[in-house]
């Protein structure tokens, strides 16, 4: 297996598929880089170099006790870009991964990045405050934390139903996919799971939006209950000067699975557009 070594000696497992212009995929909470396999394989087959990695504390990466704040996570992304030699890369962040993209753009001035994609991303700010009335109440995050501490496996069983839009009349994914998602989530340790939930719930990325200086594609489902679109994608699209927003009508959060063919095509269309330049 291949690993990147970060500043604090954490080992990040990564996959490096294909050749061509690099595309770096950042996964969502609480999954791993495997959640990008459908898109990464198709995009590599289409002539791009696809790099995906497991966030520290998740999947096959090592599990340090600290380092789950977004500054450190953005530094981890910087290490991936530097050590893989990715130049003029497109960075694609799903859900929590969108925050790493945003913080990298501000903290590292978007070095080596030609384009950005935010997919079902938490950016710009999830928490409900007086100046962010469409955000999620703190009580919801407190209840998530309590449930994970009590029975993490049971929490994820319900969480992934909402994640993929499973309901009484809606079964967009198989039971096997739900079970796989929970098994991947349980590969993360309790500390990293809780600390990353705290980070994505409370980090305000609104000051980071001005650092996006490259073409940016934002894709989000209109029926996303995990990261509601009004507090995320629609606000990000207004705050990022080079942004294009594509809304998937009626789609839930887990669009890498439920809308995988459409998402792959939208990513390829954006990647093949030549109207961008690296930073």
Query: Annotated catalytic, 253?
Result: yes
Out of 35, 61, 95, 276, pick the active-site residue.
95
The Cα angle at residue 60 between residues 125 and 79, in degrees rounded to 5: 60
Q: Which of 82, 126, 121, 132 is nearest to 216 (CA)?
A: 121
Q: Among residues 75, 76, 224, 266, which one is catalytic?
A: 224
Question: Does the active-site annotation cover 224?
Answer: yes
Catalytic residue among 35, 253, 266, 276: 253
From residue 82, give the alpha-carbon distance in Å to each of 13, 92, 96, 118. 15, 16, 22, 21
Query: Pairing between strand 22-26 and 216-221?
Result: unpaired
Is 16 among the residues known to form the active site? no
Q: How far apart are CA 3 and CA 125, in angstroms?
A: 31
- Rounded distance, CA 203 to CA 198, Å? 8
Residues designated as active site: 95, 224, 253
């Amino acid at each position: 297996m291949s690993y990147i070594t970060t500043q604090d000696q954490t080992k990040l497992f990564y996959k490096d598929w294909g050749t061509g212009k690099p595309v770096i995929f950042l996964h969502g909470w609480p999954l791993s880089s495997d959640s990008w396999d459908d898109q990464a394989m198709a995009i590599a087959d289409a002539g791009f170099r696809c790099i995906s990695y497991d966030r520290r504390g998740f999947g096959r990466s090592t599990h340090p006790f600290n380092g789950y704040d977004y500054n450190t996570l953005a530094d981890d992304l910087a290490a991936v870009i530097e050590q893989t030699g990715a130049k003029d890369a497109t960075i694609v962040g799903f859900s929590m991964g969108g925050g790493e993209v945003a913080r990298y753009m501000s903290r590292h001035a978007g070095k080596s990045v030609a384009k950005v994609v935010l997919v079902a991303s938490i950016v710009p700010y999830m928490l409900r405050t007086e100046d962010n009335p469409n955000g999620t109440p703190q009580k919801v995050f407190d209840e998530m934390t309590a449930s994970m501490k009590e029975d993490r496996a049971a929490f994820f069983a319900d969480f992934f139903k909402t994640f993929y839009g499973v309901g009484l009349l809606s079964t967009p994914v198989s039971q096997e996919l739900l079970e796989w998602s929970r098994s991947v989530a349980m590969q993360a340790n309790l500390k990293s799971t809780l600390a990353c939930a705290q980070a994505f719930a409370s980090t305000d990325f609104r000051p980071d939006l001005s650092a996006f200086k490259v073409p940016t594609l934002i894709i989000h489902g209109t029926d996303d209950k995990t990261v509601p679109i009004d507090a995320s994608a629609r606000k990000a699209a207004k705050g990022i000067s080079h942004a294009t927003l594509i809304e998937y009508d009626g789609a839930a959060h887990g669009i890498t699975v439920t809308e995988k063919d459409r998402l792959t095509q939208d990513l390829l269309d954006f990647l093949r557009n030549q109207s961008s330049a690296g930073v």
